[in-house]
Amino acid sequence: MGFKCQVLVCTFCLVMLLFLQETRAGIHSSNASRLNGRKKVSGCNLFQGRWVVDTSYPLYDSSSCPFIDDQFNCQKYGRRDNQYLKYSWQPDSCKIPRFNGADFLRRWRGKKIMFVGDSLSLNMWESLSCMIHAAVPKAKTTFYRRDSLSSVTFDGYGVTLYMYRTPYLVDIVRENVGNVLNLNSIGAGNAWKGMDMLIFNSWHWWVHTGRSQGWDYIRDGSALYKNMDRLTAFSKGLTTWGRWVDQNIDPSKTKVFFQGISPTHYQGKDWNQPKKSCSGEAVPLSGSTYPAGAPPAAAVVNKVLRSMKKPVYLLDITTLSQLRKDAHPSTYSHGSGTDCSHWCLPGLPDTWNQLLYAALIM
């Protein structure tokens, strides 16, 4: 009887062990599904909704944040209207939590977060730094700024926000013919390893031409091109980035996000006002759709993310940003011309970071 009891006990233990393993696997799978390139978190599409007037915004004042570049500091450079600061994003199917900088620091204590991309990544990095700083204004910070790598560390929490500047994600290398955009190479990737969170972005620079494009030729394998259809080139380069993520990222250690395509507002015909640009615009578009529809680059991003093996969460900020023709620096920045590409701080990128926060905790 003793032996039979032992067998029964062992059998019961084995069954319970298998049950617990399956339960844990299910929990792991559930958590992983939150970072799979889809738009929904806990059954809510965070990115389908509308802008509503909210007088509790902005979350910080530009004069009190030491991290804002002059190109984004619209208030400093003479923008007097402030209605563009008084909107919050309201998804159709749920309410999103208000950003809590102190909670963010507690959750990510001792962690390293890196934004990787172009000046729109810089826009978002500075925004998050300001949002956290506003929550703990007396916290000691270490601010390090260089061309390719910058960082803000909240010393008492051991949280570091990095910004790695690489507009194309893939490499520009020097060859005999000049600077070559290599669609198959990511030499900078070693700097991205060891992070607890990565937020990638690219597209803005792919459409630049002439002296502003930063390269003389494009390399695709052994073939060298003087030029290439930019969407095709972007697709090839982003596919190389996707392979890098699949080969180098452990999802149990690093959360990966892709910051969706940030729109421009140079052509008023895109919102049925052909004589307009972002200049002088003071209010968002109403509703939840943009007359011109999604930019073609957004389809490229979706296709690449669907083809990847490792989970990447798409911060699908394109449509909600298209509605914000009022939120650009326009002529209110340190520089010449009209900027309908970047965004004022405080401003729209704060919402991108609020949605990042929601995706992490919901």
| Active-site annotation holds for 119 | yes
Q: Is the pLDDT of residue 57 over 80?
A: yes
CA distances from 107 to 111, 152, 159, 211, 302 (A): 9, 17, 10, 44, 29
Amino acid type, 258? F
Percent of the chain with pLDDT over 70: 88
Q: Rounded mean pLDDT of 330-357? A: 95
Of the candidates 123, 133, 115, the residue with the CA atom closest to the CA atom of residue 61 = 133
Q: Rounded mean pLDDT of 24-40? A: 42
Reported in sequence order, the residue ranges of 80-158 that DSSP labels E, i.e. its strands, are 87-91, 112-117, 141-144, 149-154
| Active-site annotation holds for 307 | no
Of the candidates 149, 170, 258, the residue with the CA atom closest to the CA atom of residue 214 = 170
Q: Please tell me the predicted confidence (pLDDT) of residue 334.
A: 87
What are the pLDDT digits (tens) for 122-166? Answer: 999 999 999 999 999 999 999 999 989 999 999 999 999 999 999
Q: Rounded mean pLDDT of 171-175? A: 96
Q: Rounded mean pLDDT of 273-278? A: 96
Which of the four pLDDT bands, split at 50, 70 and 90, describes residue 43?
A: confident
Q: Rounded mean pLDDT of 211-221? A: 94
CB atoms within 10 A of CB 319: 19
CB atoms within 10 A of CB 244: 18
Annotated catalytic residue, options 119, 262, 321, 333: 119
Q: Please tell me the predicted confidence (pLDDT) of residue 26.
A: 36
Say which residue the tokens 């925004």 belong to. Answer: 127
Q: Is the pTM of this model over 0.85?
A: yes
How many angstroms separate the CA atoms of 219 and 228, rounded?
10
Q: Please tell me the predicted confidence (pLDDT) of residue 7.
A: 37
Q: Is the pLDDT of residue 299 over 60?
A: yes
Contact 231, 147 (CB under 8 A): no
How many angstroms separate the CA atoms of 103 and 198, rounded?
19
State the chain's mean pLDDT as an integer. Answer: 90
Amino acid type, 206? W
Buried b / exposed e along 154-173 (16+ C-beta atoms within 10 A): beebebbbbbbbbbbbbbbe
Which of the four pLDDT bands, split at 50, 70 and 90, describes residue 211?
A: confident
CA dihedral 288→293→297→301, nearest 10 degrees, is: 40
Residues 6+ apart with CB under 8 A from 140: 154, 155, 156
Q: Is the pLDDT of residue 171 over 50?
A: yes
How many angstroms separate the CA atoms of 204 and 234, rounded?
10
Q: Check residue 339 and report its DSSP letter.
A: B
What are the pLDDT digits (tens) for 70-123? Answer: 999 999 999 999 999 999 999 999 999 999 999 999 999 999 999 999 999 999
Q: Is the pLDDT of residue 275 over 90?
A: yes
Of the candidates 221, 227, 252, 255, the residue with the CA atom closest to the CA atom of residue 239 = 221
Annotated catalytic residue, options 133, 265, 328, 342: 342
Of the candidates 273, 276, 279, 280, the residue with the CA atom closest to the CA atom of residue 340 = 279
Q: Is the pLDDT of residue 344 over 50?
A: yes
Q: Residue 222 — φ and ψ, nearest 5°? A: -90, -10
Q: At what angle do helices 230-248 and 296-307 cross, to 10 degrees?
A: 30
